[in-house]
A and B are shown apart, each in its own frame.
Chain A
Amino acid sequence: MISPAVIAEFENILGSQNVMRDETDRHAYSYDSALVEQVVPELVLRPTDRERLGKVIRLCNENRLPLTVRGSGTNLSGGTIPSRENGVVLLTNALNRILEINTEDLYARVEPGVITAQFAAKVAARGLFYPPDPGSQAVSTLGGNVAENAGGLRGLKYGVTENYVMGMEFFDAQGEWIKTGSKTVKCVTGFNLKSLMIGSEGILGVFKEITLKLIPPPQAQQAMLAVFDAVDKASETVSEIIAEKIVPCTLEFLDNFTICSVEDFRKAGLPTEAQALLLIEVDGHPAQVAEEAEKIQAICRKKGATRIQKARDTEERDKIWQARRDALPALSRQKPTTVLEDATVPRSKIPQMVRGINDLSKKYNIEIGTFGHAGDGNLHPTFLTDRRDKAEFARVEAAIDELFEIALGLGGTLSGEHGIGVAKSKYLEMEIGKGTIALSRKIKQSLDPENILNPGKVIGG
């Protein structure tokens, strides 16, 4: 129980309309997009300006109230599930102002609750480009993107969120104001605290303001689709493209199960006999784009693509990408429950990874559709199940355990872009070892001695 006096203090700071105590309202903050146990918070706070944000963090610390920051609640690893006792959810969705878009120095300053796609559109309207495009960009917040170090389809050429964070202001666990990084291209002043904060999943501090790098947009792009009758051929094509020193902005893979699902869903004429599709796009200067597109088609042919289609106009380009956008909807409609994983391997290991996933599907008798960012080695094996079927769901969990073993065995990682949260913290030691976890806990302990910032996430404890 949180004492009425403390609640009254929150109401004093935020106004009673921004403090949710009602049982029904609180239940609507007990979950995120991950398939993990739900926890109903005791209190939900919605600060509407940055100064009050600092005050409520201080108040939580003084009263040892565990605090979980929530943007749009699209986390895929349970990172926004509140704590079991006296859990407080802190919403950032009212802190959604774009403070500055600077077209001379190519940066923007934003509050943490700004929606990714809305920001990218505003930046584009000013003639600039913010590349990170996580799958949830239509609803995800930039604060959440930084806290999870979110990726997206453009990772191969443009990198992920961390490559665009120039600096930030945040509140530490005591509600103290901290500044790190700068609006300058170069900055070596003080510890590089921003790098520690990126991907820290809300356990080290709460963002107040983020400075993001912007770049000039590419002048041209060319999309292509290549059909293969074997996964290995598709995968070798990916390696060969990179070996030829071409870096496509997107290089996406769909397996046979996903191709059939998408075709069944959209009836757009995808080849259902294909074992793999590669969706490829290059961008940049028009002359370079044309040259690279030619080279890529030649590589595809050499590696045995059965068909190559080059988009002739924006309509055809949209059609190619529609197949990729349809992947998750088409898969998720087949069964009530969809578990979307993101174990990632070095890109040369994709054939082994796809074989491993197919073996898991047979061994555990679970349908798995696999698609994802082939250029990054970041696949999304998608497990189709019904969480009410306890026996089948136990097999899904066993298959996922084994999936991580396979990925780590291939020199990969547990998570390419979804984060560790609560869903994957039990596997952490397998990848980074006891010593790394102990060091991480020491850092956490020294920054947050009362352990109020999203306790239990990532490193347990």
Chain B
Amino acid sequence: MAELRELSRLLRELDDQMITCMRCGMCQAVCPLYAETGREADVARGKIVLLEHLSLDLLKDPEGVKQRLENCLLCGSCAAACPSGVKVLDLFLKARAVINGYLGLSPAKKAVFRLVLTRPALFNRLISMASRLQGIFTRPADDLLGASCARFESGPLKDRRFMPLARTPWHKQTPELNEPAGPGDTKVAFFPGCLVDKVFPDVAQSVHKALGHHGIKIYLPARQSCCGIPALSSGDARSFVQMVRQNLALFAGGDFQFLVTPCATCTATIKEIWPMMGDYFLPEEKEKIAAVAAKTMDITQFLAEKTSLEPPAAGSEPGVKVTYHDPCHLKKSLGVHAQPRALINANPDYAFVEMDEADRCCGMGGSFGLQNYELSKKVGERKLQNIIQSEAGVVGTACPACMLQIIDMVSRSNSRVQVKHAVQIYAENLPS
């Protein structure tokens, strides 16, 4: 194991980012975790001071700092509200990588990232086995949402209501596509992302349908890798780099103008995190990353801006009340919030109502929601109350991770609210 001094040296390389924090504390106003815990180490300002003290050898507990760093949803609410523009996600992801490089990953995470996620074919086979076995360990808990809960009250799932793995994942339904594009055609690469592929293949079907409806040609290569964010947020830069490389092999170059994903987190990762981690790649890879990132677009943004959305047919019956939850990685990271609403409004079967605090984090935060379920649930509770108060029968969003969390919240509260991706709501109204 490296010397502690080496750790502080590596952390000092992040100094230029740490120093821009003027400790004004404005992050306390928007941090969903701080709202629950009231602890300074849970908010960005506190974490930055801890990193700084670790880098200056004032604090000698890297394990303690690592735990505090991981107690974060990586939602970016603080960065969006930061008066001095601290690049919080950039800083925290790099710091996690540095500290984990020093302390080493936990054996379980190492196994998941190094042996499974970096091998798309193996990952898919394991998932397919798991989807057939899951009935043994879980039982259906909600007919409306199709959520399940654990059969046994133990293990990491506890009382979480989660979506079962799809019986037939998207990559089995449609293994690959490469539709020829004529002159004047728009062609997109389609990156469904792991959760849509394996849990919400219906969302991918809706994307397929909507793109087809607008005459967009699709490039969908087989054996896509994970975007890499689960590994990186656990500090495993090595696996992250491997996954990005695998995806570059599929998506660098290519005769498509845009790369679309229905996952807010995948979009933000490819568009912002891949270039941000440039130092971990070779110069020619950096160029490819920049090119792919520039083409990447959230599916709702693509449909709203690059196609002519179907105008809603003039009012027949009053539509079902629908509200919308802004995924952090879409609104706060990429500024996309009007586009998914435009998609929802394009379906006349729905009547849109805005919920309070629509852009407040749902509390999922990727694997945060699995590792810190109680806290995640507390953050989610506020989202649930806002959904209930909106009196909507359907809540739309644009991120499968948010969908998981919201399904869990509404299912446990028996509030009979359906959860859909904005692209599903839009595609429902398109002719088959």
Contacts and interface: CB of A to CB of B under 8 A. Distances in A.
Interface of A: 20, 22-25, 27-33, 38, 40, 46, 72-74, 91, 93-94, 115, 117, 136, 138-139, 328-329, 332-333, 336-338, 386-388
A31 B47 CA distance: 12
Interface string B1-21: 000000000000001100110
B50 A27 contact: yes
B19 A388 contact: yes
A115 B26 CA distance: 12
B83 A91 contact: no
Contacts of A333: 20, 84-85
Contacts of A136: 24-26
Given A74-B24, A387-B19, A388-B19, 7 more contacts: A25-B41, A28-B46, A28-B50, A73-B25, A136-B25, A136-B26, A386-B19
Q: Which of B19, B38, B50 has the most CB of A within 10 A?
A: B38
Contact of A32 (B16, B23, B29): B23
A16 B353 CA distance: 44
A329 B40 contact: no
B278 to A, nearest CB: 22
B29 A138 contact: yes
Given A329-B84, A333-B84, A27 B22 contact: no
Contact of A24 (B19, B20, B68): B68
Contacts of A74: 24-25
A24 to B, nearest CB: 3
A418 to B, nearest CB: 12
Contacts of B67: 24
B58 A27 contact: yes
A29 B85 CA distance: 22
Contacts of B40: 28-29, 73
B361 interface: no
29 contacts: A23-B59, A23-B64, A24-B64, A25-B39, A27-B49, A27-B50, A27-B58, A28-B40, A28-B46, A28-B49, A28-B50, A29-B40, A30-B53, A32-B25, A33-B22, A33-B23, A38-B49, A138-B26, A138-B29, A329-B83, A332-B22, A332-B85, A333-B20, A333-B84, A336-B16, A337-B22, A338-B84, A387-B19, A388-B19
B65 interface: yes
Contacts of B25: 32-33, 72-74, 136, 139
Contacts of B83: 328-329, 332
Contacts of A22: 64
A31 B68 CA distance: 17
A124 to B, nearest CB: 16
A390 to B, nearest CB: 14
Given A27-B49, A28-B46, A332-B84, A94 B38 contact: yes
Interface in B86-137: none
B403 to A, nearest CB: 30
A23 B15 CA distance: 22
A72 B23 CA distance: 11
A337 B53 contact: no
B38 A46 contact: yes
Contacts of A387: 19
Contacts of A386: 19
B185 interface: no
Contacts of B15: 388
Contacts of B38: 46, 91, 93-94
Contacts of A40: 58
B19 A27 contact: no
Contacts of B50: 24, 27-28
A37 to B, nearest CB: 12
Interface of B: 15-16, 19-20, 22-26, 28-29, 38-41, 46, 49-50, 53, 58-61, 64-65, 67-68, 83-85
B344 to A, nearest CB: 25
Contacts of A332: 22, 83-85
A23 B26 CA distance: 24
A20 B37 CA distance: 13
A337 B41 CA distance: 22
Contacts of A117: 29
Contacts of B24: 33, 74, 136
A160 to B, nearest CB: 20
A357 B209 CA distance: 64
B112 to A, nearest CB: 26
Contacts of A72: 25, 28
Contacts of B23: 31-33
A225 B398 CA distance: 41
Contacts of B19: 336-337, 386-388
B80 to A, nearest CB: 12
Given A31-B49, A139-B29, A24 B22 contact: no
A137 to B, nearest CB: 9
B372 to A, nearest CB: 16
Q: Which 7 A-B pairs have CB atoms at the shortest separation, nearest pair first?
A: A24-B64, A28-B46, A28-B40, A329-B83, A138-B29, A28-B41, A332-B84
A116 to B, nearest CB: 11
A74 B84 CA distance: 15
B84 A24 contact: no
A275 B140 CA distance: 69
Q: Which of A24, A74, A138, A139 has the most CB of B within 10 A?
A: A24
Contacts of B20: 333, 336
A24 B60 CA distance: 9
Contacts of A38: 49
Contacts of B65: 24
A17 B59 CA distance: 22
Contacts of A91: 38
A139 B39 CA distance: 14
A28 B64 CA distance: 12
B111 to A, nearest CB: 28
Nearest to B68: A24
A27 to B, nearest CB: 5
B194 to A, nearest CB: 33
B405 to A, nearest CB: 25
A325 to B, nearest CB: 9
Nearest to B63: A24
Contacts of A20: 39
A29 B84 CA distance: 21
B84 A23 contact: no
B41 A139 contact: no
Contacts of A94: 38
A33 B22 CA distance: 7
Nearest to B65: A24
Contacts of A33: 22-25
Nearest to B29: A138
Given A74-B25, A336-B16, A30 B49 contact: yes
A387 B15 CA distance: 12
A24 B59 contact: yes
Nearest to B66: A24
A93 B40 CA distance: 10
Contacts of A32: 23, 25
A16 to B, nearest CB: 14
A432 to B, nearest CB: 29
B429 to A, nearest CB: 33
B68 to A, nearest CB: 6
B99 to A, nearest CB: 12
A332 B23 CA distance: 12
A262 B59 CA distance: 38
B225 to A, nearest CB: 35
A24 B54 CA distance: 10
A139 B26 contact: yes
B85 A24 contact: no
A23 B41 CA distance: 11
A365 B23 CA distance: 25
